[in-house]
């Protein structure tokens, strides 16, 4: 089941992000010179993001089955180790059946990126 919840009133009082999303050309510049890639798929996606305790009631919705609130869940080898360590420290869990490691090329933002470029 997928839910569609009307959060327009909540959106009106939501504090906007302080930082702009990175530009695609800046992201590709960061990949320049890379020859090895990995893709890590996070299990349960957004549901791993913690919701501040005081904000939990703002996510509430009611349906015939009851009242619900989103609570949340709790070099290449070196970079990979660092990323996995950070994920573990932040209690984010990878779904290894969908993750891929040590790739020579990778799909990124609709483009194929490799050691040869985009």
Note the pLDDT tens digit of each residue in 83-105: 778 888 888 877 778 887 777 88
- With tokens 């009106």, the residue in question is 12
Per-domain residue ranges of the chain:
20-39+100-118, 48-96
**Residues ≥6 apart with Cβ < 8 Å to 103:** 36, 37, 38, 39
pLDDT band at 1; cut points 50, 70, 90: very low
Q: Using the predicted structure, report yes or no on whether residue 53 has a pLDDT greater than 70.
A: yes
DSSP 20: P
Q: 81 near 43, Cβ under 8 Å?
A: no
pTM of the model: 0.45
Residue 87 to residue 80: CA distance in whole angstroms: 11
Which of 15, 10, 95, 13 is closest to 47 using CA atoms? Answer: 95
**pLDDT for res 63:** 62
Q: Using the predicted structure, report yes or no on whether residue 2 has a pLDDT greater than 70.
A: no
């Amino acid at each position: 089941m997928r839910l569609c919840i009307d959060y327009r009133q909540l959106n009106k009082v939501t504090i906007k992000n302080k930082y702009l999303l990175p530009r695609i050309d800046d992201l590709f510049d960061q990949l320049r010179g890379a020859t090895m890639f990995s893709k890590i798929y996070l299990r349960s996606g957004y549901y791993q993001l913690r919701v501040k305790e005081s904000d939990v009631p703002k996510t509430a919705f009611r349906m015939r089955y009851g009242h619900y609130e989103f609570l949340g869940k709790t070099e290449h080898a070196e970079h990979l180790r660092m990323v996995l360590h950070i994920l573990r420290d932040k209690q984010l869990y990878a779904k290894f059946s969908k993750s891929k490691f040590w790739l020579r090329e990778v799909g990124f933002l609709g483009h194929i990126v490799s050691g040869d470029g985009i």
